[in-house]
Amino acid sequence: MTAIRLPTAQPPDSVFGARPDVTESAGAYRAGGGYRSAVGPDELLHHLDASGLRGRGGAGFPVAVKLRAVREAGMREGAVREGAVREGGGVPVVVANGEEGEPGSVKDRWLLRARPHLVLDGLAHAAAMTGAARGYVYLSDAEAGARVRRALAEHPPPLPIEVVETDRTYVAGEESAVVRRIDGGPALPTAKPPRPFERGVGGAPTLVSNVETLARIALTAARPGLRLRIARSTLVTLSGGSGTPLLTEIPYGVPLRTLAAAHGTPDAAGALMGGLFGGLVGARGLDLPLEPGALAAAGTALGCGAIRLLAAGACPVTVATAAVGHLAAESARQCGVCVTGTAAVHDALRALAAGTAGPQTLANLTRWSRALPGRGACGLLDAAAGTAGSLLRAFPERIPFHLGAACPACAAGLPADGPGRLAVAVPEVADAPSAHIAPPALPPLPALKGTP
């Protein structure tokens, strides 16, 4: 079971709140300053812009830019309707995206189970900033759905909000798939443009925002003076290695090596970053600070904050094969280049793991890692090609041992492929407070040095 570790000093701007192991009630949330704003919508947008808050769904897009784009698109739609130039479009829509397709991530489902009011508060603020008149909470976790519905009944929101459930898949959380599912179709990506901020749910400009992003919007509204700390902290899911999977909150700038030691894998040989989006990094990559700019400069990404550590004896070829196998199984099968490209990358990696690959296999992987990104309707093909490319870059010394002969670490057995291979369990969240519930059992993380 995935555990929760709190920072050494629990600040008031933490996403974890007072009891991360128990679903927070509306009364408890209000008592902690929730559902109150120290600033109006325009001023809040200014604070979000000044803080540099980025989305926590994976792409890391600046939040204020996205909010303004939806608001401005809505204003243009209003002007068009008044001039009777065309029909369609409409008042903006806001969506809390809690569909967590990355197999190594648990933060979004935990947030919806433990702190639904924080997410709903952020969604209401997003609606005020964009001029939205209706909202949705989009998720695939039935337990989270039940707690969100109860939270809506406990504290009726200032705009109609509907909970929409879907099946959990890797592509179901992609923003165009979110729109398509809410509109009654399958949760599959569509070609862009238009993007949801231009034409989304029901044809209206639509903000699709990750639930952690919305939580940080609500925290900023209540405590604008702490905007930089709120924007520069993030939830991280650590798994793999030799430690227990855990969910924690860290400030930007903490070295990955420090987290690996706290997780119980001090001798990590590398990591699979950003769920399946950031690719592999080797042992030297563990000294990188967990900060979007520094990671991007090094050719990797924090993504959704899911990090799978490689134990000292683990083979990165095995890990890459499992990751791409997961992606191949999760393909939406809408784009021919994705179906054939992802399968080809997976087959080549399996050949490496089995010791049956030759020089041409390596040449193909190199070529595909450069040529395939950007050719699918969503990021799945990019993730598969990026994982292969990162393996070749981060572990060049390991590849020769797989050409024509299986390495000892891979000889124990090829990884089982499929969606369940890399899954991490959501931390336990009790449905309501009671006397017998104990606080989180794990000790806090040691003091971590990072940007305050």
Full DSSP string of 325-373: HHHHHH--S--HHHHHHHHHHHHHHHHHHHT-B-HHHHHHHHHHHHHST
* pLDDT at residue 8 in the model: 61
Torsion sign (Cα): 311, 317, 323, 325: negative
The DSSP bridge partners found for residue 308 are: 239, 272
* pLDDT at residue 90 in the model: 83
Given a cut of 60, whether residue 366 has pLDDT beyond it is yes
* pLDDT at residue 83 in the model: 41
* pLDDT at residue 375 in the model: 82
Given a cut of 70, whether residue 427 has pLDDT beyond it is yes
pLDDT, tens digit (0-9, with 9 covering 90-100), for 388-405: 999 999 999 989 888 888
The three-class DSSP label of residue 10 is coil
Given a cut of 90, whether residue 59 has pLDDT beyond it is no
What is the separation of C-alpha 234 from the centre of its chain, rounded to a whole number of angstroms? Answer: 11
Given a cut of 70, whether residue 146 has pLDDT beyond it is yes
Where does the pLDDT of residue 374 fall: very low under 50, low under 70, confident under 90, or very high at 90 and above?
A: confident
* pLDDT at residue 127 in the model: 98
Mean pLDDT of 354-382: 88
* pLDDT at residue 87 in the model: 40
Which helix (H) or strand (E) segment holds residue 221: the answer is: helix 211-222
* pLDDT at residue 443 in the model: 46
Domains of the chain, with CATH numbers?
22-230 (3.40.50.11540), 234-411 (3.10.20.600)
Where does the pLDDT of residue 414 fall: very low under 50, low under 70, confident under 90, or very high at 90 and above?
A: low
Tell which residue, 19, 27, 33, 25, has the closest CA to residue 225: 33
* pLDDT at residue 434 in the model: 42
Amino acid identity for residue 111 in this structure: L
Given a cut of 80, whether residue 433 has pLDDT beyond it is no
Q: Mean pLDDT score of the chain, rounded to an integer?
A: 88
Long-range residue pairs from 362-368, CB within 8 A, at least 24 positions apart, any chain: 362/392, 362/399, 362/403, 365/389, 365/391, 365/392, 366/392, 368/341, 368/344
Mean pLDDT of 165-193: 93
Mean pLDDT of 242-246: 88
Query: Do the Cβ atoms of 357 and 351 come closer than 8 Å?
Result: yes
Between 5 and 420, residue with greater pLDDT? 5
Alpha helices in 232-335 (DSSP H): 256-263, 292-297, 316-330
* pLDDT at residue 448 in the model: 44
The three-class DSSP label of residue 63 is helix
CA distance linking residue 101 with residue 178, whole number of Å: 12
Token couple for 48: 């979000």
pTM over 0.75: yes
pLDDT, tens digit (0-9, with 9 covering 90-100), for 6-49: 766 667 789 999 899 999 999 999 999 999 999 999 999 999 99
Alpha helices in 63-168 (DSSP H): 63-82, 107-114, 116-130, 142-154
CA distance linking residue 407 with residue 254, whole number of Å: 34
* pLDDT at residue 436 in the model: 38
* pLDDT at residue 442 in the model: 45
- Residue 322, CA distances (Å) to 2, 248, 302 in order: 20, 25, 19
Given a cut of 70, whether residue 78 has pLDDT beyond it is no
Mean pLDDT of 54-74: 93
* pLDDT at residue 164 in the model: 97
